[in-house]
Amino acid sequence: MKKIELEIVALSHSITQTHSYAVVLGEVNGLRRLPIVIGGFEAQAIAVALERMSPSRPLTHDLMKNFMNAFDVQLQEIIINDLQEGIFYSKLVCFTEHDTVEIDSRTSDALALAVRFSCPIYTYENILDSAGIMMGDAAPQKSKGEAVGIEETGSGEREDLTSLSLSDLESLLNDVLENEDYIRAIAIRDEINKRK
């Protein structure tokens, strides 16, 4: 089967499930999108890597990358290779000097590692056909390498941030970073940057 390359185009709260997030993958040079519901911790791990934030302590996916690098294992690509009853299945394609190995993975973990290793993300036509969404021609196109949209948790949060002073925002940013809430930190950082 021919592999179709995808890239992360958005990360936001899921509108269908409470306390969940959706990562939206877009077909490179195409109009199809593949939304995948993931958990909050996985969304945070993806957001931290996308925003090139440096947590005070390594997250699990950072630890995994460090471990793989220490033993000279490279992540070549990830493949979202199956969809069963609404659950996506993925595999990591890893290689060393002597071998190539495919490792089963949750899709959210595979995406968090793909961002850290800057490796390509692939899927197959049948998965895009069954779970993908076709964007209209009028939809804005994202070129490869363009910044990813990470949306705030909702309009209420945006209003809360706009009502705070710059010093309050900076204090809040320190608090959420200390609590390792990196998705909220991104929203606060963006609000601070808009004011400077």
Tens digit of each residue's pLDDT (9 = 90 or more) over 6-49: 999 988 775 555 667 889 899 999 989 998 889 888 988 999 89
Same-domain check for residues 162 and 109: no
Question: What pLDDT does residue 154 have?
Answer: 43
Same-domain check for residues 117 and 162: no
Same-domain check for residues 108 and 26: yes
Same-domain check for residues 182 and 116: no
Question: What pLDDT does residue 65 have?
Answer: 95
CB-based contact 83:131 (threshold 8 Å): yes
Helix/strand/coil (H/E/C) assignment for every residue in 11-43: EEECCCCCCEEEEEEEECCCCEEEEEEEEHHHH
CB-based contact 161:187 (threshold 8 Å): yes
Q: What is the Cα–Cα distance from 127 to 111, expressed in whole angstroms?
A: 16
Question: What pLDDT does residue 114 have?
Answer: 97
Gyration radius (Cα) of the chain, Å = 18
Q: What is the CATH number of the domain that holds 119?
A: 3.10.690.10
Q: Which residues touch 7 (CB under 8 Å, ≥6 apart)?
A: 25, 26, 28, 121, 142, 144
Q: Which of 118, 136, 151 is the last residue of a domain?
A: 151
Q: What is the pLDDT of residues 55-114, one digit of tens each?
A: 888 889 999 999 999 999 999 999 999 999 889 999 999 999 999 999 999 999 999 999
Same-domain check for residues 107 and 175: no
Same-domain check for residues 145 and 163: no
Helix, strand or coil for residue 1? coil
Question: What pLDDT does residue 14 have?
Answer: 57
Same-domain check for residues 48 and 125: yes
Which helix (H) or strand (E) covers residue 156, if one does?
helix 155-163
Same-domain check for residues 25 and 100: yes
Same-domain check for residues 164 and 181: yes
Same-domain check for residues 128 and 45: yes
Q: Report which of 117, 109, 129, 128 is spatially closest to residue 26, judged by C-alpha positions.
A: 128
Name 94's bridge partners: 75, 101
Same-domain check for residues 123 and 41: yes
Q: What is the pLDDT of residues 156-186, one digit of tens each?
A: 444 478 888 888 888 887 787 666 565 666 6
Question: What pLDDT does residue 18 have?
Answer: 61
Same-domain check for residues 58 and 119: yes
Q: What angle do CA 21, 23, 24 make, to 5 degrees?
A: 135
Domain residues for 193? Answer: 152-196
Q: Which of 114, 133, 151 is the last residue of a domain?
A: 151
Task: Tell me how crowded residue 90 is: count the other CB atoms within 10 A of its CB.
Answer: 24
CB-based contact 49:64 (threshold 8 Å): no
Is it the case that residue 190 has pLDDT exceeding 90?
no
The total number of structural domains in the chain stands at: 2
